[in-house]
């Protein structure tokens, strides 16, 4: 269900930041069992671009599917696609998303991270993994806006990822949309198990409260997320990579408020999306 329709933004100079569920593999582009499991998530993603104040000048996507020792930034002009899912129908390996990269923006992101004292590097050979191109095919199907992918840190340190987001705040005033692509619940053993419902609900309720708290409290809560109710049942130890993109976009939100804008029950679990921006209630 949609918790609250994203309200149109008043025209201003600042882009919001988003944390979105990117689904399971190429789930939006194939038959699934049950057949309509991902329909509401797909419709939510398709409607997000219309909530923006303007067309983004570029998009930075932080995907759960790229971890490096140092924050890494895709810097190629024409990134390929990385089909990093397995066992799906052949046509899902023929999907295309020919959005251009933006080497100058990649260099700027790297410099901003390094200026903040964070390890950062560029990677000209990195393509877009499915945490990028699968949701982008729904959100911005024209593939005509430059896209740069930012990796996670293999340390899995939430404070480090919040700091990375803070380092990139200025990009929002330049029309750059920052998207965290992950899942608010991601325990592979739990999907499809009815016992996961109450677990995911408990963690989702805590996560919603953390996101919607005042920025200082939000930051501390997200740093301490592993102590939350059902946290490690929702994101097992050393497998929290699908939650960490949220930390980056929360950091990039600065003092702007956060809001849950979508939730749905998928494969017996609750999945949510969040928006940060000065217009969040």
Residue 216 located in a structural domain: yes
Residue 60 located in a structural domain: yes
Percent of the chain's residues with pLDDT above 70:
94
Residue 8 located in a structural domain: no
How far CA 88 is from CA of 24, 65, 69, 85, 137, in Å, comes to 11, 17, 30, 7, 17
Model-level pTM?
A: 0.94
Residue 22 located in a structural domain: yes
Q: Whose structure tokens read 């380092």?
A: 167
What mean pLDDT do residues 150-173 have? Answer: 98
The CA-CA-CA angle for residues 228, 234, 239, to 5°, reads 105
Determine phi and psi for 234, rounding to 5 degrees. Answer: -95, -30
Count of domains observed in the chain = 1
Q: Which residue range(s) make up the domain with 58?
A: 17-276
Residue 3 located in a structural domain: no
Residue 6 located in a structural domain: no
The pLDDT tens digits for 226-265 are 999 999 999 999 999 999 999 999 999 999 999 999 999 9
pLDDT at 34: 93
pLDDT at 9: 35
Tell me: cis bond preceding 34? Omega within 30 of 0 counts. yes
Helix-then-strand count for the chain, H and E = 8, 8
Token pair in block for residue 98: 């020919």
Question: How confident is residue 271, by pLDDT bands cut at 50, 70 and 90?
Answer: very high
pLDDT at 60: 98
The pLDDT tens digits for 124-152 are 999 999 999 999 999 999 999 999 999 99
Residue 236 located in a structural domain: yes
Question: How confident is residue 279, by pLDDT bands cut at 50, 70 and 90?
Answer: low
Token pair in block for residue 61: 């996507």
Nearest-angstrom CA–CA distance, 190 and 210: 23
The CA-CA-CA angle for residues 247, 130, 235, to 5°, reads 40
Q: Who contacts 66 (Cβ-Cβ below 8 Å, separation ≥6)?
A: 72, 126, 129, 131, 149, 151, 152
What mean pLDDT do residues 37-56 have? Answer: 96
The CA-CA-CA angle for residues 34, 244, 180, to 5°, reads 70
Question: How confident is residue 278, by pLDDT bands cut at 50, 70 and 90?
Answer: low
pLDDT at 10: 36
Token pair in block for residue 116: 């903040």
> What CATH number is associated with residue 73?
3.40.830.10
Rounded to the nearest integer, the mean pLDDT of the chain is: 94
Residue 268 located in a structural domain: yes
């Amino acid at each position: 269900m949609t918790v609250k329709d994203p309200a149109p933004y008043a025209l201003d100079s600042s882009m919001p930041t988003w944390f979105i569920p990117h689904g399971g593999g190429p789930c939006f582009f194939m038959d699934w069992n049950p057949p309509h499991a991902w329909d509401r998530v797909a419709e939510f993603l398709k409607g997000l671009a219309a909530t923006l104040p303007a067309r983004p000048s570029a998009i930075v996507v932080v995907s759960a599917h790229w971890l490096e020792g140092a924050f890494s930034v895709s810097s190629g002009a024409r990134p390929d696609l990385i089909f990093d899912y397995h066992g799906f129908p052949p046509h899902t390996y023929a999907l295309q998303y020919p959005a251009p990269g933006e080497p100058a923006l990649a260099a700027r992101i790297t410099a901003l991270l390094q200026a903040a004292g964070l390890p950062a590097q560029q990677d000209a050979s990195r393509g877009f993994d499915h945490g990028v191109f699968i949701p982008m095919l729904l959100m911005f199907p024209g593939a005509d806006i430059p896209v740069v992918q930012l990796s996670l840190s293999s340390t899995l340190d939430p404070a480090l990822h919040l700091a990375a987001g803070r380092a990139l705040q200025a990009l929002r005033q330049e029309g750059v949309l920052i998207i965290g692509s992950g899942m608010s619940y991601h325990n592979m053993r739990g999907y499809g198990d009815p016992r996961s419902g109450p677990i995911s609900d408990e963690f989702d309720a805590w996560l919603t409260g953390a996101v919607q708290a005042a920025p200082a409290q939000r930051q501390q809560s997200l740093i301490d997320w592993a102590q939350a109710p059902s946290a490690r049942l929702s994101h097992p130890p050393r497998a929290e990579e699908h939650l960490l993109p949220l930390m980056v976009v929360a950091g990039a939100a600065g003092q702007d408020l956060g809001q849950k804008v979508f939730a749905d029950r998928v494969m017996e679990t609750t999945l949510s999306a969040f928006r940060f921006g000065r217009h969040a209630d």
